[in-house]
Amino acid sequence: MAALYRHGWCGATGLVVPLLTLVSPGFLKLDGVGPAWGLLWLLPWALVDGPVSGAGAGLALGLVLDGLHLGPVSELPALVFLGWWWGRVGRRGPQIERSFSLGLLALLGSLVLGGTMLAQFAWLGEAGRPQLHTLLSQTLITALLAPMLCSLQLLLWRQQTAGLRG
C-alpha cells in the first residue's frame, strides 16, 4: 500500500520543513509565533502513505527539527505518534478530503505537539504563561493554514499514488 516513500523526490519535499522553520516568514506568524511546519507537511503524507511511513516521516522530521532548536526539549515523540495516528486515520476511516477535517486534524495534532513540549518544559521547570501562549498561537495558526496547504499536498500525493497503482 505505502508507495510515496519509495520515490525519492516525494520524500525530498520534506526538506521544505526545516527550510521554512529557519526562514520563519513573519507574515505567517500569529503574535510572533509561526505555525508547526512539520505538522503541515506530515498530515497529508501520513494520510496518504499509512501509519508506518507516517511514523518514519515523523521520526525523520523530528530528528532534523530537534537539531535546529536549542535545548533538550524534543518534538520527536509527538511527530512519530502523529505520523502513526494520522496514517491509521487515513487507512481505516473514510477518505479525508474536506477542509474542515484537515483543519481539525491539524488543530488536534498541534495541541498534541504543544502539549508534549509544554510537559517537557514543565519538567525542566521552565513552563509558564509564555509557553502556554506559544501553544495556543501555534495551534491556531497551524489549524488556519492546514486546510489551504494540506489539501493541495493531499491532492498531489493522491495523484502520485493513483499513478503508481495504475
Work out which of 134, 139, 142, 151 binds other proteins, going by CB under 8 A.
134
Give me the DSSP letters along the chain. ---GGGSHHHHHGGGHHHHHHHH--GGG-BTTB---HHHHHHHHHHHHHHHHHHHHHHHHHHHHHHHHSSSS--SHHHHHHHHHHHHHHHHHSSPP--HHHHHHHHHHHHHHHHHHHHHHHHHHT--SHHHHHHHHHHHHHHHHHHHHHHHHHHHHHHHHHHHHH-
Q: Which of these segments, 24-32, 49-57, 81-89, 142-150, binds other proteins (CB under 8 A)?
A: 24-32
What is the footprint of other proteins within residues 36-95 (CB under 8 A)? 69-71, 73
Rule CB under 8 A: say whether 27 interacts with other proteins. no
Nearer to other proteins, 97 or 126 (CB): 126
Nearer to other proteins, 8 or 32 (CB): 32
Nearer to other proteins, 96 or 141 (CB): 141
Q: How far is the CB of 103 from other proteins (least distance, A)?
A: 21
Work out which of 2, 5, 13, 29 binds other proteins, going by CB under 8 A.
29
Nearer to other proteins, 10 or 117 (CB): 117
